[in-house]
Amino acid sequence: MNKRHKNNPPVSGEVVILALCVILVMITLSQILVVHHKFNGRFQRAARPRHNNRNRQDLRQLEKSIAALMRQNVPSIERHDELLRGEVFASRTVNMILRATNEAMEFSSSKNHPNRELELYEYDNSDENQRRTSVSNSLPNTHIRSNISLINSRNNNNVNHNTNVNNNNNVLLTWNQSKFVNNKRRRVKIKKFCALEPPNLQGNFLAKMNLTEEYVDLDEILKNNSEVLPGGVWRPKNCVARYRVAIIIPYRDRLAHLTVLLSHLLPVLQRQELDFRIFVVEQHGNRTFNKGRIMNAAFKEALKQYDFQCVVFHDVDLIPEDDRNLYTCPSQPRHMSVAIDEMDYKLKYDLLVGGVLSMRIEHYTQVNGYSNMYWGWGAEDDDMAYRILHTGLKITRPPTNIARYKMIKHTKRKPTAWVTRSKLLNTAVKRFKMDGLNSVKYNVVCIHYKPLYTHIVVDVGHLM
């Protein structure tokens, strides 16, 4: 034992002092951590319950809304389609009678109509959807010509129509044997369908342009688009458009963006030789935005005013770069804004259909339109993608090198909480037959026919 004690070196006072210092430091740090933990714990206990309770309340309210939706008595998609057709037919009939009355009054008030002419359309049997057997009369100082054959002639008792098809040159000829005008027979003009590939396309015309709001002048836009009729109506003069397209733009407090979009989009649509009409739909008031509801409302109201074959839903802040990206009627739903500059001209994910989406009327009614349950920003487009795929349709896209868009820089709105969006997306397939066109509720506040577009203001309610 003595040998062992002799071999151990003596403990110096410096080592003892160092050990005590280390112990004191550890005690001090532990106290700091304890105090910080207590303070942080109080903060979290005070703050977290409010956040979690908010989410729980939103989810409970959403579950109640979904349950109420599934219990409500709404017509089936097929039945609603029939009801919508009847409603549209009645509305168009009233509009046709009003137009016919106005044109008849213009006709009777003027004795000379040197520019009055009978237009004949080429009969193209390559596309069933493009066959036209109607004849339209053009009158001077008439803003919107009717597509119903010879509306003015219905007010004339001495009218006889004969039709003959010349199979050799594939042209439908129609004669109107009515009274002469100033003892002169009416001039007959034969119109052909526009070319399948529009000849005046420019390609990528916006590649080097810097989008700013300062250089856009509204008077300059009106001057460059003088042939666009009030309400945003245009059709080619020298040929019959192969497609009738409604452009629906959801809008709120972005007049500068809308002006920039119209300055670029209108020339593109004219170079593509489309029969088009632009509808700008705005939600009444400044409450939480519901894009799906105003899209469905705009679709219904547009049908009442314009006989279109397909609809293009177009964000107000996306400017097309290439006019070869055709706004025509696709055989399957077409996502047109594939490459956006803000996203490095890459598609973020395969189900993306937001931005610019083109659909035929029958496809939009087949998927029952957009969901009405997405308040705020985000996920309503993904819901539409689920509907498209679930109903057996396909999402098609143009090539990336032409489906290019520039996004106007703006302050982005905060999206809806993810827990709410995910809950809705998880029930998208379950809800789509009850939630959409057949269940949308809205009131039309006003409809204004602006020089370059039809402005529709709708009240779609508010978030409960």
Given 193, 215, 241, which residue is the final one in a domain? 193
Q: Are residues 295 and 443 in the same domain?
A: yes
Question: Which pLDDT does position 364 carry in this prediction?
Answer: 96
E strand residue ranges, 294-366: 310-314, 318-320, 334-335, 339-340, 356-360
Write the pLDDT tens digit of every residue in 312-369.
Answer: 999 999 999 999 999 999 999 999 999 998 899 999 999 999 999 999 999 999 999 9
Write the pLDDT tens digit of every residue in 25-36.
Answer: 788 777 666 555
Query: Count H helices, E strands: the chain?
Result: 10, 17
Q: Are residues 288 and 431 in the same domain?
A: yes
Q: Are residues 171 and 203 in the same domain?
A: no
Q: Smallest Cα–Cα separation from 84: which of 436, 437, 455, 457?
A: 437
Average of per-residue pLDDT across 239-253: 93
Write the pLDDT tens digit of every residue in 104-146.
Answer: 777 776 545 544 444 444 434 444 344 333 333 333 333 333 3
Average of per-residue pLDDT across 429-452: 91
Residue 423 or 225, more confident: 225
Are 321 and 406 in contact by the 8 Å Cβ rule? The answer is: yes
Question: Which pLDDT does position 345 carry in this prediction?
Answer: 92
Average of per-residue pLDDT across 167-188: 43
Rounded-to-integer distance, Cα 227 and Cα 144, Å:
12
Rounded-to-integer distance, Cα 234 and Cα 224, Å:
13
How many domains does the structure of the chain reveal?
2
Q: Are residues 240 and 164 in the same domain?
A: no
Exposure string for 28-59, b = 16+ CB within 10 A, e = fewer: eeeeeeeeeeeeeeeeeeeeeeeeeeeeeeee
Average of per-residue pLDDT across 166-192: 47
**Residue 251, helix vs strand vs coil:** strand
Q: Are residues 205 and 147 in the same domain?
A: no
Given 167, 193, 219, which residue is the final one in a domain? 193
- Listed in sequence order, the residues at least 6 apart from 401 whose beta carbon sits closer than 8 Å to its beta carbon are 322, 339
Query: What is the overall mean pLDDT for the chain?
Result: 76
Q: Is the pLDDT of residue 51 over 90?
A: no
> Look-up: residue for tokens 């532990």?
30
Q: What is the CATH number of the domain that holds 293?
A: 3.90.550.10
Q: Is 80 a member of any domain?
A: no
Question: Which pLDDT does position 185 carry in this prediction?
Answer: 53
Given 193, 212, 239, which residue is the final one in a domain? 193
- Listed in sequence order, the residues at least 6 apart from 84 whose beta carbon sits closer than 8 Å to its beta carbon are 300, 303, 365, 437
Write the pLDDT tens digit of every residue in 369-425.
Answer: 999 988 887 788 999 999 999 999 999 999 999 999 999 886 666 666 667 777 788
Write the pLDDT tens digit of every residue in 63-94.
Answer: 666 666 666 778 888 888 888 888 888 888 88
Q: Are residues 175 and 209 in the same domain?
A: no
Q: Is 15 a member of any domain?
A: no
**Residue 304, helix vs strand vs coil:** helix
Question: Which pLDDT does position 319 carry in this prediction?
Answer: 94
Q: Is 19 a member of any domain?
A: no
Are 326 and 276 in contact by the 8 Å Cβ rule? The answer is: no
Q: Are residues 246 and 109 in the same domain?
A: no
Q: Is 246 a member of any domain?
A: yes
**Among 58-72, 87-101, 434-448, the least confident range:** 58-72
Q: Is the pLDDT of residue 55 over 70?
A: no
Question: Which pLDDT does position 84 carry in this prediction?
Answer: 87
Q: Are residues 307 and 453 in the same domain?
A: yes
pLDDT band at 10 (very low <50, low <70, confident <90, very high): low
Q: Are residues 106 and 206 in the same domain?
A: no
**Among 190-204, 247-261, 406-420, the least confident range:** 406-420
Residue 12 or 178, more confident: 12
Rounded-to-integer distance, Cα 171 and Cα 191, Å:
9
Q: Are residues 284 and 188 in the same domain?
A: no
Tokens of 116: 């009055």
**Residue 77, helix vs strand vs coil:** helix
Rounded-to-integer distance, Cα 21 and Cα 101, Å:
103
Q: Are residues 124 and 217 in the same domain?
A: no
Query: What backbone torsions phi and psi does residue 41 show, to the nearest 5 degrees?
Result: -65, -40
Question: Which pLDDT does position 151 carry in this prediction?
Answer: 33
Task: Give the domain range for residue 432.
Answer: 198-459
SS (H, E, C) 127-195: CHHHCCCCCCEECCCCCCCCCCCCCHHHHCCCCCEEEEEECCCCEEEEEECCCCECCECCEEEEEEECC
Write the burial class of residue 11 (CB in 10 Å: 0-12 exposed, 13-18 middle, 19+ buried): exposed
E strand residue ranges, 52-145: 117-121, 137-138
**Residue 404, helix vs strand vs coil:** strand
Write the pLDDT tens digit of every residue in 263-321.
Answer: 999 999 999 999 999 999 999 888 888 999 999 999 999 999 999 999 999 999 999 99
Residue 461 or 150, more confident: 461
Q: Is 39 a member of any domain?
A: no
**Among 58-67, 238-247, 436-445, the least confident range:** 58-67
Q: Are residues 178 and 204 in the same domain?
A: no
- Listed in sequence order, the residues at least 6 apart from 28 whose beta carbon sits closer than 8 Å to its beta carbon are none
Q: Is 392 a member of any domain?
A: yes
Average of per-residue pLDDT across 440-448: 94
**Residue 449, helix vs strand vs coil:** strand
Residue 190 or 95, more confident: 95
Rounded-to-integer distance, Cα 274 and Cα 269, Å:
6
Query: What backbone torsions phi and psi does residue 60 show, to the nearest 5 degrees?
Result: -65, -45
pLDDT band at 20 (very low <50, low <70, confident <90, very high): confident
Q: Is 35 a member of any domain?
A: no
Question: Which pLDDT does position 229 carry in this prediction?
Answer: 94
Question: Which pLDDT does position 212 carry in this prediction?
Answer: 53
Rounded-to-integer distance, Cα 285 and Cα 293, Å:
14
Q: Is 72 a member of any domain?
A: no
Residue 269 or 187, more confident: 269
